[in-house]
C-alpha cells in the first residue's frame, strides 16, 4: 500500500514520520526542503515527491495544511489532486478547518469515488511525534471502519465523531476553549505582576488552585521564562478562534468570551507576534 502525505509541519511531519517508522511506503511533499529531509530521516521507506501530482497513485493520501483555502487549492478543482486519484483510494485530512469546507471536500470525494475522513487532531507536536495524538474522525462509518487501523498507526486514541461537520466543529470548539484559556492565563499573569507577584511564582502557585488547567501547566511557565518559541503558532490560534466564532455566528450563537480572546489574538498578530507561540498574546495585554 502506498501512502502520500502533503504538509510536513509541526503536526503533519510527526504523523508522516510515524508512517515511515511503521515501515509504510510513503511519498511526502512539502514546500520546505528542511521539513522533507527531517521526515525522511525517520526511516528508509519514505521518499520525496517532486510535485503534488506525484501522489496520484497513492492508495491513501493525508493532508495537514494551515487553511481551508490551502486544502481547496491542493485538492479540489480540475487541477487538484482529487481529480487525478484513482477510484477507491482514500483521502484523510488532519487539518483544522471549518465544517462547511469539510463538507465541500467530502462531497467532492464522493462524486469521484474516493473515500474521505476529516480527522482533526487533539494535542501538540510532541504527541504527534510519539503517535499519541488524539484523532477525531468524521465521515461515513464504513469508511472509518475501513481506515481505523491506518489512523491508529499515526495517532491514539482514535474517536469516531459522526459526519465530517461534527469532527471539525468539535476541534474548533476545543481550540476556542483552549486559546481563550491562554488569553485568560496571560491576563492573570499580568494582574499578578501589578500585585507584585513574579510571573514564575504565579505559574508555580496557580497549579495549586482552581485556576489550574492544561494550558496553565504548559504555557504559564513559558510566559514566565519569556519563551515564545512556536509550538502552536499565534496566527494558527487566531485562525482557529476566528473560524470557530464564525461557525457559532452561523448557528445564531454569540460566543462573547471567545470573541474577547479573538480580539487579543488579532492585536497580537497585528503587532507582529503571529510567528510566536500562541502564548505571545501575553505581549499585548497590559
- Determine which one of 86, 123, 171, 259 is catalytic: 171
pLDDT tens, residue by residue, 59-91:
999 999 999 999 999 999 889 999 999 999 999
Mean pLDDT in the chain?
Answer: 97
Q: Does residue 258 register a pLDDT over 90? A: yes
How many domains would you assign to the chain? 2
Is residue 205 domain-shared with residue 241, that is, in the same domain? yes
Residues 272 and 156 in one domain: no
The verdict on 221 and 244 lying in the same domain is yes
CA 85, 131, 14: angle at the middle one, nearest 5? 60
Residue 44: count other Cβ atoms within 10 Å of its Cβ: 8
Same-domain status, 65 and 179:
no
- In a shared domain, residues 136 and 209: no
The reported pLDDT for the residue numbered 77 is 85
* Cβ neighbours, 10 Å, residue 127: 17
Please report, for the domain that includes residue 101, its CATH number: 3.40.50.720
> Is there a single domain that holds both residue 153 and residue 251?
no
Q: How far is CA 35 from CA 30, 205, 242, 259, 275, in A?
A: 7, 38, 27, 34, 17
Q: Do 115 and 214 share a domain, yes or no?
A: no
Last residue of a domain, one of 99, 129, 162: 162
Same domain flag for 138 and 272: no
Domain boundary among 162, 195, 210: 162
Indicate if 176 and 203 belong to the same structural domain.
Answer: yes
Q: What is the pLDDT of residue 221?
A: 98
Instruction: Give residue-wise pLDDT tens across range 118-154.
Output: 999 999 899 999 999 999 999 999 999 999 999 999 9
Does 15 share its domain with 136? yes
pLDDT band at 220 (very low <50, low <70, confident <90, very high): very high
Q: Is the pTM of this model over 0.75?
A: yes
Mark whether 194 is an active-site residue.
no
Q: Are residues 151 and 186 in the same domain?
A: no
Pairing of β 135-139 and β 115-118:
antiparallel
Residue 249 structural domain: 168-284
Check whether 106 has a pLDDT greater than 90.
Answer: yes
Cβ atoms 56, 81 nearer than 8 A: yes
Mean pLDDT of all residues in 169-184? 98
Q: Which of 162, 182, 202 is the last residue of a domain?
A: 162
Q: What percent of the chain has pLDDT over 90?
A: 99
pLDDT of amino acid 54: 97
**d(C-alpha 200, C-alpha 286), whole Å:** 17
Specify whether 192 is located in the same domain as 258.
Answer: yes
* Preceding peptide of 157 cis, ω within 30°: yes
Amino acid at each position: 500500500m502506498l501512502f502520500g502525505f502533503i504538509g510536513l509541519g509541526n503536526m503533519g511531519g510527526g504523523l508522516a514520520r510515524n508512517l515511515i517508522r511503521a515501515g509504510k511506503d510513503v511519498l511526502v511533499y512539502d514546500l520546505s526542503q528542511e521539513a522533507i529531509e527531517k521526515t525522511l530521516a525517520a526511516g528508509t521507506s519514505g521518499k520525496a515527491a517532486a510535485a503534488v501530482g506525484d501522489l496520484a497513485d497513492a492508495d491513501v493520501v493525508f493532508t495537514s495544511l494551515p487553511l481551508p483555502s490551502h486544502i481547496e487549492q491542493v485538492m479540489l478543482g480540475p487541477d487538484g489532486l482529487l481529480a487525478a486519484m484513482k477510484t477507491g483510494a482514500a483521502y484523510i485530512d488532519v487539518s483544522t478547518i471549518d465544517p462547511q469546507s469539510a463538507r465541500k471536500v467530502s462531497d467532492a470525494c464522493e462524486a469521484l469515488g474516493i473515500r474521505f475522513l476529516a480527522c482533526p487532531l487533539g494535542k501538540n507536536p510532541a504527541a504527534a511525534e510519539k503517535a499519541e495524538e488524539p484523532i477525531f474522525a468524521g465521515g461515513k462509518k464504513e469508511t472509518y471502519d475501513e481506515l481505523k487501523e491506518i489512523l491508529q498507526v499515526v495517532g491514539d486514541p482514535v474517536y469516531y465523531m459522526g459526519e465530517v461537520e461534527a469532527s471539525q466543529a468539535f476541534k474548533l470548539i476545543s481550540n476556542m476553549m483552549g486559546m481563550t484559556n491562554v488569553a485568560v492565563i496571560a491576563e492573570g499573569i499580568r494582574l499578578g505582576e501589578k500585585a507584585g507577584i513574579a510571573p514564575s511564582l504565579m505559574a508555580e502557585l496557580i497549579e495549586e488552585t482552581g485556576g489550574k488547567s492544561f494550558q496553565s501547566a504548559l504555557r504559564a511557565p513559558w510566559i514566565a521564562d519569556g519563551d515564545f518559541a512556536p509550538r502552536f503558532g499565534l496566527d494558527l490560534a487566531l485562525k482557529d478562534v476566528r473560524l470557530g466564532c464564525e461557525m457559532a455566528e452561523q448557528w445564531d450563537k454569540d460566543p462573547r468570551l471567545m470573541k474577547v480572546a479573538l480580539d487579543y489574538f488579532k492585536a497580537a498578530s497585528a503587532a507582529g507576534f503571529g510567528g510566536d507561540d500562541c502564548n505571545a498574546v501575553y505581549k499585548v495585554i497590559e
